[in-house]
Each structure stands twice: as C-alpha cells, then as structure tokens.
A and B are shown apart, each in its own frame.
Chain A
Amino acid sequence: MSQWLAQVIERAGNVDDWLASARSKALAELKQKEWPGRRTEAWRYTSLHKVADLNLATTSEATTAEAPQVEGLNSIDLVFVDGHLVSDIANLTLPEGVTIASLDAKSDAAESVFGQVKPQHHLFGLVNDVLAQHGVVIDIAPNANVEQPIRIVNFASDGVESHQRSLVRVGEGAKAVIIEHGVGNGHSLNTAFAEYDIADKAALEHYRLALHEGEAIHVGGSHFRLHNESKLNSTLVGYGSQLTRLDVDIEHAGEHAFAKFNNIYLLAPKEHFDLHSTIEHAQPNGTTEENARGIIGDKAKAVFNGRIHIHRHAQKTLAELNNRNLLLTRGAQINTKPELEIYADDVQCAHGATVAEIDEEALYYMLTRGIDKQQALVMLNFGFVQELLFQMPNRALADWLQPILKQRFERMMEQQ
C-alpha cells in the first residue's frame, strides 16, 4: 500500500451522500487492492512511483474557469474546476430530451449507471468511486435526436488533487454527442471517469480530449455499454503530460452493436502516455473497428494495450484493431500489445501493431510539387495522425484541434 492510497482510504470515509452504499462497496474493494508494481500486468510499463507519495491539496480555491472556446462547436458546457462543478446547470437552456443534473441529486439515471458500466478492476476507478463527490448525470430521453454537443470540461489546477465523475444514459433510439475535455499543466492529480449506457438503437458520438501537459498527472477512463443495434463512434486525443493513463472499456452487451474507436496520441519530449482499451464482445454480430496512432517525441514513452475479447457466444463478430506508432528519435519508446482472445469460431478478426515508416512515393510526389524535404516530412508524419482527425464526424472540433496538434507536433520536431 502506498502512502497516497492509505490517505485515499482514510478520506473516503468522509463522503456521505445518497451513493453511500455504492461507495462503501467500492471502498471495500479498494482496501483489498495491492498497490501496482512492475509485476502488476495492467501497470507493467507505467510506474506509479510519482503518485505513491503524492501529497497535494484536496481542496481548491479556484472557483471559475473559462472553457477553451471552440469556434463553431456551440456546445453545452459543463465546467469543472478541480472536481467542482462551476457551471450553473440549473439555468442551462437544453435541447428537448436532455436532462442534466448534478451527481448530488439522486436519480434513476444516476443509480442505473454509477459503478454499473465501469469494470471494478480499475484501481483509480475505485478511487474515483469513493472520492468523486461531484459530477454530472446526463440523461438523453428515448428517441431524442440531440445534435448540440454536450461538453464536460475538467480543469486541473496546480497543486491540487481532484476527482470528477460523469454518468450518461442514452435512451432507446436516441442520438447524442458528448465531449470530455480535460486540461491542466500544473503539478496536479486529476481522475475523471465516465460511464455510458447506450440503449437499443441509440447512437453516441463521443470524444475524449486528454490535453494535460507538463507536470499534470491524469488518470481516467471512459466506459461504454452497448445494447442491441446501438452505435458508438469515439475519438480519443491524448497528450502524455508527466503521466496520463486512460482506460477505455467497450462492452457489446447487445447484438448488432457497432463501435468505432479511434485514438491519437502525440507525446512531447519526456511525456508518458498509457492507454489500455478492452473490447468485450459478449454477444453475437457485433462490430469493432479500433485504430490507434501515436507520434512519440524524444525520451517520451507510450504504452498501448488493446485487448479484444470475443466470448464463446459472440459468433459473427467483426473486430479489427490496429496500432501504428511513429518514433521521432531513438530515445522515443513504445510498448504496444494488441491482444486478441477469441473463444467463438465464426468470427473475423484482425489486429496488428507496427512502427510507421515514411511512404517514399508520397514523399517524392510532394517534392515534385516544390515542397522542401523537411516540410514534406513534417506533413507526412503529421498526416499519419491527421488521417484520424479527418475521420472525426464533428468538423468544428476537428478544425479546432488540427492547428493545435500541428503546432505541438512542429515543436516536437524542433526539439529533436
């Protein structure tokens, strides 16, 4: 047990709200957990020694923050600063079929989702279970077609430890767009976990932007349960920061569900990024397309673990997982491990992990257009992740991200 975790357990007793019974269950589990070390499979390539004796403030003085403006996005913003909801959610003008409530208020939606979608084995998920006092509950009514994106913004201030929770229920046949947007560059620890229950024939377009930098430590997860004929289109964009660890779980709990999951990571020198994704095909006829692409700067380290588990009953599953990485220098590191576990016999699966190489023909083509070699390489290398940006259904968000990521990448190239 680390000093930090012991403290978490101690603090956990102080949270007493309508979720008390779910929280105490999580606390009991947490007490059983061992502090992860090198031999803990889920943390094999990511050391937690920087968290082990972390001693940051657990309350914050910050009370407001300006959410990053995304031109043309026109989102409903739910802003959290150090885990505290600062948006006045009681006075939002919401599209028809959308209910947004604070986690403090007991609701059917919250009750049916909290701790129900997120697997219990995530250590920091349990920490979030017991410590996240604040959060939002988003309930999309059956058949509501909500085009306006709902954005959950999480700011992590310097010197503060914070925990935030989001619970989302997308009703039968409904459509919604949800963005989880995390930022912070001071020395901080922020956990942000989101659970999504996507009902029959519902469709969720989802983004998770984990744009933490510098000394920030961010550990979080997005967890999805897909019911019959539902659809998920999710894009994750991450930086590394001092330590960024994300766990994504997608469970095909119904038949004929479709999941597309793209992820992009762009690591500046010395950053550390770790993404574990697990796709559970528990039912037949499901489809998963997962594409992860990363560019890793000097002395930065990326860990990608993509697991697809096809249960015996899950016949006719189509699953593809691909991870490609571009290492900018010899000092850049990637530990990639796609894992396929197949117990059904009538399935189509493919997976692969490669280190990307420059397409010589594309380079030549660019040179014949007068573009100099250095610039052509920048464009081709960046194009490697930009390809996934182009696939984002939300153009406003993609157009906003593009120059930001491009600049980060150009700086990475200069720092080589």
Chain B
Amino acid sequence: MLSIKDLHARVEETTILKGLDLDIKPGEVHAIMGPNGAGKSTLGYVLSGREGYEVESGSVSLEDKDLLDMEVEERAQAGLFLAFQYPVEIPGVSNMEFMKESVNAMREARGEDALSSAEFLKKAKEACKQVELPLDFLKRGVNEGFSGGEKKRNEIMQMIMLEPKLAILDESDSGLDVDALQVVAKGVNSQRDGKRSFIVVTHYQRLLDYIEPDYVHILSNGKIVKSGGPELAKEVEKSGYAWLKEGEVA
C-alpha cells in the first residue's frame, strides 16, 4: 500500500526526516510512537505534500504510484488521508459545504457521480452519529469553536466519509476524555476492512488497547529506530525513551 524508502526531508533550513523507511501492506495498522519533536507530524505533512516541507531524497509510493510527484489534492484523491494533530479552523466555510465539496472531489477522482444533496446528507448524518457529534455541527464553520475533543472527532468523521486507502491519524487520541477515546477508536475500527491501512501516531499505549496495531515503530530524530509488535508500545509506556539516548538502539 505505502512504501517509504530512505526519506530525507527538511522544513525551511532544518532537516527533520533523516532516512526513514516504512512499508505498509493493505489492511495493516502501524503505530508510530516517539518523543516530542521526533518528526512524527512532519512525516504526515511530508506525505500529504505540505508547502514548505521539502523532500531532499528518498521515495514514497502509494499503491505503486509516486506520491511525491503529486499535488496535495491529488494525493488526497489518490486515497491518502491525514487526520491533523491540530485541525484547522475555517470560520466562513460550513462543515457541510466543506465535506460535500470534499466527498464529491474524491468521487469525481474515482470516476463516480457526485452525490445529490439528499444522498450526501444521509451519509453525513450517519458519520456524525458514528462519532457522536450532534448534527448541528454540520452547519457550523469548519472546526470553528469546536473543543479539542470535538475537533478530533470531526477529523474521524471526515475519514469515515472520505473512505481513504491509507489514513494517517496524528495524535487523534490526545486531549480526549475516556468516552471520546472509545468513540474515536470505534470510528477507526469500523473502517478496518482488511484493505484500508492506517498509520496511528500516538504517545499512549492506551489507544492501542482499542485500536490493535500489527506493528509498532519508534521514530526518533527523523528515523525509525525500533520496530516490533504491540508489546513494544507496552515497553515504551513502562520505561519511556531514556534508552534512546543511551544508544540501546536495536
């Protein structure tokens, strides 16, 4: 599904990703953990094609297509979804028109007909229900005045509606109360169909109790320094990242 090879990328003058490799097969869930500032969010931005994030070397392919060659919107249309660590507020654009435009852009890219207003509304209502957001959120400005947890649920709502091939969830669990964490996890699990793949960036093992990963990677200083199964997350939870500094890199 996704293949990242020796990826080096910089933001402005600073190189942040320093030779990152990752291979994700259809249906797999990969968790990425790592200390603050390791480059986890940067990876999401680089994959999505954000301006200012420059790839120095390496390659990335999504379903054998060169991802790095595409515009931001083309990557999204090709099936890449990024749930933001800090979702953006767009006060003058309603969640409804935003999602409608977005869903139909994806459909057009897949060669499907645009949804009618009624069809769209039905789908949107279902997605809202799944993440337990009241319907009037659709009428509000995108993320405008949403609480931290509401913004995260809104990101998952978007993921459900856009049906990506690969979803990157950047700390979708941070700032959530216990119930909201379950709602988000349920939302994600409902989208696991054996074909769709996920990168779940998190600081806490807790989320991985609900969303069971196939692999766990530790990202540190722009590289994946350790990979393993779900037990690796438990280890991190217990002993933190002090071992990274001591050079005990496996």
Tell me the A residues contacting B by CB distance below 8 Å: 359-362, 364-373, 375-376, 379-380, 382-387, 390
> In the complex, are the beta carbons of A364 and B50 less than 8 A apart?
yes
Q: Among B84, B92, B94, which residue has its beta carbon within 8 angstroms of that of A385? A: B92
A367 adjacent to B92 (CB under 8 Å): no
CB distance from B15 to the nearest CB of A (A): 21
**When A379-B98, A379-B101 are in contact, do A390 and B73 touch as well, CB less than 8 Å?**
no
Question: A370 and B102 in contact (CB under 8 A), knowing A365-B90, A387-B92?
Answer: yes
* Residues B93 and A373 in contact, CB atoms below 8 Å apart: no
B73 and A372 contacting across the interface, CB-CB below 8 Å: yes
Which residues of chain B have C-beta atoms less than 8 A from A383's C-beta?
90-93, 141
Q: Judge whether B72 and A364 touch: CB under 8 Å.
A: yes
Name the distance in Å between B199's Cβ and chain A's nearest Cβ.
15
How far apart sit A370 and B76, CA to CA, in the bound complex (Å)?
5
**Are B141 and A390 in touch, CB under 8 angstroms?**
yes
| A390 nearest CB neighbor, chain B only | B141
Q: Cβ of A364: which chain B residues have Cβ within 8 Å of it?
A: 50-51, 72, 88
B 32-55 contacts with A by CB, 8 A = 48-51
**Are B98's CB and A370's CB within 8 A?**
no
Question: Once the chains are docked, how many angstroms separate the CA of A367 from the CA of B142?
Answer: 14
- Contacts A364-B50, A368-B75, A368-B81 aside, 10 further interface pairs with beta carbons under 8 A come to A362-B93, A366-B102, A371-B73, A371-B105, A376-B73, A380-B93, A385-B92, A387-B91, A390-B91, A390-B94
CB distance from A323 to the nearest CB of B (A): 16
Name, among B87, B90, B102, B109, the residue most crowded by chain A CB atoms within 10 Å (CB to CB): B90
Which residues of A are found within 8 Å of B88, using beta-carbon distances?
A: 361-362, 364-365
Cα–Cα distance between A379 and B73 once the two chains are bound (Å): 15
- Cβ A365 vs Cβ B84 within 8 A: yes
- In Å, the complex CA distance between A370 and B75 comes to 8
Closest to B82 in A: A368
Chain B interface residues (CB < 8 Å from chain A): 48-51, 71-73, 75-77, 81-82, 84, 87-94, 97-98, 101-102, 105-106, 109, 140-142, 158, 162
Minimal beta-carbon separation of B164 from chain A (angstroms): 9
Residues of chain A within 8 A (CB-CB) of B90 are: 359, 362, 365-366, 380, 383
B91 to chain A, nearest CB (A): 5
Cβ-defined contact, A372 with B92, below 8 A: no
- Neighbouring B residues of A367 by C-beta, 8 Å: 49, 71-73, 76
Nearest residue in B to A406 (C-beta to C-beta)? B97
In the complex, what residue of chain B is closest to A375 when comparing beta carbons?
B101
User: Given the complex, which residues of B lie within 8 Å of A375, measured CB to CB?
Assistant: 101, 105
Given known A-B contacts A364-B51, A368-B76, A370-B109, A386 and B84 have beta carbons under 8 A apart: no
> Mind listing 5 A-B residue pairs with CB under 8 Å?
A366-B93, A366-B102, A370-B109, A371-B73, A383-B93
Assembly CA distance A387 to B71 (angstroms): 28
A369 & B162 in contact (Cβ 8 Å cutoff): yes
- Nearest CB of chain B from residue A89's CB, rounded to whole Å: 36
**A370 contacts B82, C-beta separation under 8 Å:** no
Identify the interface centre among A359, A376, A384: most chain B CB within 10 Å of its CB: A376
Give complex CA distance A59, B109 in Å: 58
- Is A370 in contact with B93, judged by CB distance below 8 angstroms? no
- Give the shortest distance, in Å, between A401 (CB) and chain B (any CB): 14
A81 CB to closest chain B CB (Å) equals 35
Q: How far is the CB of B88 from chain A (nearest CB, A)?
A: 4
Q: Which residue of B lies closest to A369 (CB)?
A: B102
The reply to whether A366 and B98 form a contact with Cβ atoms under 8 Å apart is yes
* A388: nearest chain-B partner, CB-CB: B92
* Cβ–Cβ < 8 Å partners of B73 in chain A: 367-368, 370-373, 376
CB-CB under 8 A for A368 and B72, given A387-B141, A390-B141: yes
A359 to B92, CA, bound (A): 12
With both chains docked as a complex, state the minimum distance between the C-beta of A233 and any C-beta of chain B, in angstroms. Answer: 19
Q: How far is the CA of A386 from the CA of B141 in the complex (A)?
A: 10
- Which of A361, A367, A382, A384 is the most central at the interface, judged by chain B CB atoms within 10 Å of its CB? A367
Q: Is the CB of A369 within 8 A of B98?
A: yes
User: B82 touching A382 by the CB < 8 A rule?
Assistant: no
Residues of B contacting A376 in the complex (Cβ-Cβ under 8 angstroms): 73
User: How far apart are A162's CB and chain B's nearest CB, in angstroms?
Assistant: 36
Query: Which of B51, B93, B98, B102 neighbours the largest number of chain A CB atoms within 10 Å of its CB?
Result: B93
Q: Tell which of B51, B89, B92, B106 touches A384, judged by Cβ atoms closer than 8 Å.
A: B92
A359 to B77, CA, bound (A): 22
Q: Which of B49, B71, B98 has the most CB of A within 10 A?
A: B98
Partner of A371 from B49, B50, B102 at Cβ < 8 Å: B102
Give Cα distance in the complex from A170 to B87, angstroms: 45
Which of B71, B88, B92, B94 has the most A CB atoms < 10 Å from its CB? B92
CB distance from A370 to the nearest CB of B (A): 4
- Docked complex Cα distance between A364 and B89 (Å): 12
Report the Cα distance A371→B71, complex, angstroms.
11
For A369, the chain B residues whose CB sits under 8 A away are 76, 98, 101-102, 105, 158, 162
CB distance from B36 to the nearest CB of A (A): 21
C-alpha spacing A368/B81, complex, angstroms: 7
**Complex: A387 Cα to B88 Cα, angstroms:** 16
Distance A360 CA – B72 CA, assembled complex (angstroms): 13
Residues of A within 8 A of B142 (CB): 365
A381 nearest CB neighbor, chain B only: B92
Q: Which residues of A contact B50 (CB under 8 A)?
A: 364
Closest 6 CB pairs of A and B: A383-B92, A387-B92, A370-B76, A367-B72, A369-B102, A365-B88
Cβ of A361: which chain B residues have Cβ within 8 Å of it? 88
Interface centre among B71, B73, B158 (most CB of A within 10 A): B73
- Give complex CA distance A312, B68 in Å: 64
Whole-angstrom distance from the CB of B187 to the nearest CB of chain A?
17
Q: How far is it, in angstroms, between the C-alpha of A372 and the C-alpha of B90 when the chains are bound?
A: 16
Contacts of A371 in B (CB 8 A): 73, 98, 101-102, 105
Q: Is the CB of B158 within 8 A of A379?
A: no
Residue of A nearest to B143 (CB): A365
Residue among B51, B89, B101 having the largest count of chain A Cβ atoms under 10 Å: B101
